[in-house]
A = this chain, B = another copy of it.
């Protein structure tokens, strides 16, 4: 069948889709989400279809943006259309949904089809459901991770030892990466760190680093930065290390599903893609965190170790205290300021963040067999070597190496939250802290956020300052204030 091509100015966010008129679909015996092959000369593409009674007239075919990118057309030109087999990976997804274990080649086929946009979001959803409900075995998790690595981008560094770190997240500030990276790089180790942006938090490491320099680079430029400085702190999304993973995350979002195997593979595929040999994983646990109990933390730790081993990585997993934010500032500029305070030995430096970063750096140095690790790390920090390395990285990433904490502006509207009674701080709700910062403008506005003045179990007086909210917008500040109640409890 020949159909006249038409451009449809809509994006699916991934899957390749064309619109057919219901009459043409009937002639080809097609249902919504079936596949067709479109052909023009030697150029072929397989797309899923959706069916319409009006938008596309009989005799026409509408290509949506993703399909147009792979198959450019002139308006009105004729395309040959024929029924196509559904991808074999759909059978494999069905197999997993039926409770059967998938083989290496089978998982590889599913991930390949995801990366090439050959599966619709409904089909991806079935894969997530199957992986969630039936679980992924250790082997399946390994295959999934390897497939994501194989079909994603790679940094291809040739160093024998490459170290890396990752935190399972959820803790406000906790910006250890921006200290650990310069410390271990100053110790002579290579650490090509890719970080994420905020998803549910006030800021991601990539957002905070971006207040000081660029974080979006193509792969060759990242390699150049790493060669020059032993390190980098860049946004992983820009180098597309795991595109299958990003697509799966989109359909996991509506039900907020985190199938464990997918969570693990998502993290370690990105480490493997930068050729990491030694990886430190931090799992903060706490009541308002993703991982709530020590038992859950230990279970996850074992899973990480099994997967790490199968990928040939040396791995250390630490379970840390996630009962309150680490650091004082929450929001991009406020968090970057904390980092600069620590590196420059400013008296405003948050000790908890500094100590955690020191502890993690020691663990990494020990992993690769460096002796007197503790002494070494303290020296690096105290002698200003970490500060110098950090500014070297900022410069390599196009920022101002002479940046001072005062250069990082805060929102002109602020609100001080004070204790309504005297007592002892009994709990800090991490989720609410993040919510207040987000409503105040994070992560889009660097100048927004909040500055925490107290710590758990600290004794306070009535009217003592608990935290200050900063915002660029009067309206947002007002809205943020409405979330203050119950964030910090006093007993």
* Per-position 1/0 for A54-92, Cβ under 8 A of B: 110000000001000000000000000000001000100
Judge whether A368 is part of the interface by a CB distance below 8 angstroms. no
| Most chain B CB within a 10 A radius of its CB, from A27, A52, A126, A253 | A126
Contact A126 B10 (CB under 8 A): no
Residues of B within 8 A of A9 (CB): 55
Given A11-B55, A26-B444, verify A33-B253 contact (CB < 8 Å): yes
Nearest-neighbour CB distance to chain B for A23, whole angstroms, equals 8
Which of B10, B29, B32, B123 contacts A13, CB < 8 Å?
Answer: B32
Contacts of A344 in B (CB 8 A): none
A287: Cβ under 8 A from any B Cβ: no
Chain B residues whose CB sits within 8 angstroms of the CB of A121 once the complex forms? 121-122
Which parts of A88-114 form the interface with B (CB within 8 Å)? Answer: 90, 93-94, 97, 99
Q: Is A46 interfacial (CB-CB < 8 Å)?
A: no
A254 in contact with B132 (CB, 8 Å) = no
Contact status of A31 and B97, CB under 8 A, knowing A55-B11, A125-B125:
no
Pick the residue among B11, B122, B132 that contacts A52 (CB under 8 A). B11
Copies in the complex: 2
Instruction: Please report the C-alpha to C-alpha distance between residue A251 and residue B251 in the assembled complex, in whole angstroms.
Output: 14
* CA distance in complex: A129, B8 (Å): 31
Q: When the two chains form their complex, are residues A123 and B255 in contact, meaning their CB atoms are under 8 A apart?
A: yes
Q: Is A418 in the interface zone, CB < 8 Å from B?
A: no
Does A250 interact with chain B (Cβ within 8 Å)?
A: yes
Residue among B8, B126, B438 making CB contact with A255, cutoff 8 Å: B126
Q: What B residues does A55 contact at CB under 8 A?
A: 9-11, 65
Q: How distant is the Cα of A310 from the Cα of B132 in the complex, in angstroms?
A: 33
Q: CB-CB < 8 A to A134: which residues of B? A: 133
Q: Is the CB of B129 within 8 A of A126?
A: yes
Q: Does A130 contact B (CB under 8 A)?
A: yes
Q: How many residues of A contact B (CB 8 A)?
A: 46
For residue A87, give the distance in angstroms from its CB to the closest CB of chain B: 10
- Binding site secondary structure of chain A: mixed
Most buried by B among A51, A90, A133, A254: A254
**Distance between Cα atoms of A295 and B126 in the complex (Å):** 29
A250: B residues at CB distance < 8 A? 32-33
Asked if A37 is at the interface of the complex by the 8 Å CB criterion, the answer is no
Q: Which residues of B contact A260 (CB under 8 A)?
A: none
Residues of B within 8 A of A132 (CB): 97
Nearest Cβ on chain B to A80's Cβ, whole angstroms: 14
Contact A129 B255 (CB under 8 A): no
Inter-chain contacts of A10 with B (CB < 8 A): 8, 10, 19, 55
A54-B11, A55-B9 known; A254+B120 contact, CB < 8 A: yes
Cβ-neighbour of A32 out of B99, B123, B253 (below 8 A) = B253
Interface string of A129-147 (1 = CB under 8 A from B): 1101110000000000000
Instruction: Provide the residues of chain B in CB contact with A120, threshold 8 Å.
Output: 254
Interface string of A343-384 (1 = CB under 8 A from B): 000000000000000000000000000000000000000000
Whether A31 contacts B255 by the Cβ 8 Å rule is no
Which among A19, A51, A129 has the highest number of chain B CB atoms within 10 Å?
A: A129
Whole-angstrom CA separation of A99 from B54 in the bound complex: 41
Chain B nearest Cβ from A60, distance in angstroms: 14
Q: Are B123 and A254 in contact (CB under 8 A)?
A: yes
Bound-state Cα–Cα, A233 to B476, Å: 61
User: A125 to chain B: which residues have CB within 8 Å?
Assistant: 122, 125-126, 129
A31: chain B residues at CB < 8 Å are: 253
Contact pattern, A 375-400, Cβ under 8 Å of B = 1, otherwise 0: 00000000000000000000000000
Distance in Å from the Cβ of A101 to the closest Cβ of chain B? 15
Chain B residues with CB under 8 A of A65: 55
Query: Nearest-CB distance from A37 to chain B (Å)?
Result: 16
Could you pull out 11 A-B pairs where Cβ atoms are within 8 angstroms? A10-B10, A10-B55, A11-B54, A33-B250, A86-B254, A90-B255, A94-B255, A97-B129, A97-B255, A121-B122, A130-B133
A-B CB proximity, top 3 nearest: A129-B129, A125-B125, A33-B254
14 more A-B contacts (CB under 8 A) besides A11-B55, A33-B250? A10-B19, A27-B444, A31-B253, A32-B250, A55-B65, A93-B255, A97-B129, A97-B133, A99-B133, A120-B254, A122-B125, A122-B254, A123-B255, A126-B255
